Amino acid sequence: MLQKFDEDVLEQILSHLQVKDLLRFKSVSKKWNSIISTPRFVNLHLNKSMSTPSHHRIIMPYPKSFRAVDFHIMDVQDHLPRPEEAVGTFVGSSGGLICYLDKLTRRICVWNPSLRLSKTLDLNIQGSVSFFWFGRESSDDEYKVVLGIRSVVRKNTDPNLYAIRRITIMPDQDEYRNHIYVIMPFACVSESSTQLEVDHIYFSSSDEGTLFSGLVHWFAGSYRIKSAIGSIYHDAVFTYDLGGKTLGKLSTPVGLSSSTGSIGVIDGCLSAIYRVCGGDCAIYEFWMMKEYGVKESWTKMTSLSFGNCDDGLSSFSRLKLVGATDTGDLILCCAPDCQLLIYNVAEKKSKIVLSNGYGFARMYVETLVFP
């Protein structure tokens, strides 16, 4: 009984340490190595790291490496080289793992930078990937890749039809499972009790989804529905339920175009940032959906102003929310400029943290999870 108690206490103490220290402490003794190597401890350490702000990092991709930023003190760290097979589109970061999609070879690479370990998986798909998501639900040990695949154009085939493919990755295993197509016809998307006849839909190229409340959200640049007076174009947020494997739709704030917006999550609410004005001073609006699923609950929180000369943003820059500090400042990344910014909401001033990146920055936490 005492020995088991001692192991539990040791396990709890070790779970608060960073990965680099745990890797060294494996050599202390066989007992320590055994504790640190168990799936139970790996999951315990992951959950502790996710809930500890001092363990959080922001990573900015570069052509052959990453730059990491300490989220707690906004301190830029050294370049972190990535494996050669991690090429193509940076799909996302979740639970200590990073996912890349090579659209040419139709392969994904899942990589843990802290362990310097990676693996690649052949997708065996047809069609082009238009939108995607990589992540892990907090109560789930599995990692999932969701791909929105546009149909191959053939005779009598509508090129605007999409299929959603969900891939489940089991950490520390060589294969993935449930590598099947989940066909979600966009011709019967429901909003409340209304069935919509969607005959055209457009997603922004390489659009990364946002997970909130078990649903993955993507902005649709536009979709068209049939009506008695002809086709009507709308903007919307489309959702995919990871559990129910169903497709849904949310309305966007009235008068704002999805093609200039991006989705995020802050303070337990779905949020969106829209570019509303370009030119010498780029202006963006920050909105939050106070009551999820209720169109009227979209609330404008603030306007973000950027002077091109001072901030380096072009009039075509698209902002994406990365996170927020304890003081309420917003951490943003812009494309195509690929800069990491911290925006002081009270003073309406921004500061560049990193420049000349190669895509959107993401949150990252160091873990012991094997890819």
Cβ partners under 8 Å of residue 33, min gap 6: 26, 27
Of 83, 36, 53, 56, residue with least CA distance to 361: 56
pLDDT of residue 151: 65
* Cα separation, 100 vs 66, whole angstroms: 13
The one-letter code for the residue type at 107 is R
Of 97, 133, 124, residue with least CA distance to 112: 97
pLDDT of residue 25: 92
* Cα separation, 284 vs 306, whole angstroms: 8
Of 80, 82, 124, 79, residue with least CA distance to 99: 82
pLDDT of residue 300: 93
3-state secondary structure of 13: helix
pLDDT of residue 100: 92
Of 58, 140, 47, 120, residue with least CA distance to 325: 58
Q: What is the pLDDT of residues 229-266, one digit of tens each?
A: 555 556 778 888 888 777 788 888 876 776 678 889 98
Q: What is the pLDDT of residues 41-74, one digit of tens each?
A: 998 999 898 888 778 889 998 888 888 888 777 7
* Cα separation, 357 vs 216, whole angstroms: 25
H-type alpha helices, the chain: 2-14, 19-25, 30-37, 39-50, 308-311
Length of the chain, in residues? 371
For the range 230-236, what are the long-range contacts, defined as Cβ-Cβ under 8 Å and sequence gap of 24 or more? 231/199, 231/200, 235/259
Q: What is the pLDDT of residues 74-104, one digit of tens each?
A: 778 777 888 888 888 899 999 889 999 998 8
What is each CA distance from 158 to 10, 155, 199, 303, in whole angstroms?
60, 9, 9, 40
Q: What is the pLDDT of residues 128-171, one digit of tens each?
A: 787 889 998 766 678 888 888 776 555 455 555 667 777 887 66
Q: Which residue shows structure tokens 């209720």?
A: 294
* Cα separation, 44 vs 12, whole angstroms: 8
Q: What is the pLDDT of residues 337-369, one digit of tens each?
A: 788 989 888 888 888 888 888 888 899 998 999
Residue 189 has pLDDT above 50, yes or no: no
* Cα separation, 96 vs 363, whole angstroms: 10
- pLDDT band of residue 291 (cuts 50, 70, 90) is very high
* Cα separation, 107 vs 86, whole angstroms: 10
Q: What is the pLDDT of residues 190-224, one digit of tens each?
A: 333 334 444 455 565 456 889 998 899 988 755 55
Name the CA dihedral angle for 42, 46, 49, 55, rounded to a multiple of 10 degrees: 80
Query: Over 132-170, what HEC string results?
Result: EEEECCCCCCCEEEEEEEECCCCCCCCCCCEEEEEEEEC
Residue 21 has pLDDT above 80, yes or no: yes
Q: Which residue has the higher pLDDT, 277 or 290?
A: 290
pLDDT of residue 292: 94
pLDDT of residue 197: 44
Q: Are 237 and 223 in contact (CB under 8 A)?
A: no
Q: Which two tokens stand for residue 64?
A: 């052959």
Residue 125 has pLDDT above 60, yes or no: yes
pLDDT of residue 226: 53
Tell me the mean pLDDT in the region 2-31: 84
**Cis ω before 336 (30° cut-off from 0):** yes
The one-letter code for the residue type at 133 is W
* Cα separation, 360 vs 344, whole angstroms: 20
Q: Rg of the Cα trace of the chain?
A: 22
* Cα separation, 142 vs 21, whole angstroms: 25
* Cα separation, 110 vs 169, whole angstroms: 9
Residue 180 has pLDDT above 50, yes or no: no
Q: Which two tokens stand for residue 62?
A: 């570069």
Q: Are 120 and 197 in contact (CB under 8 A)?
A: no
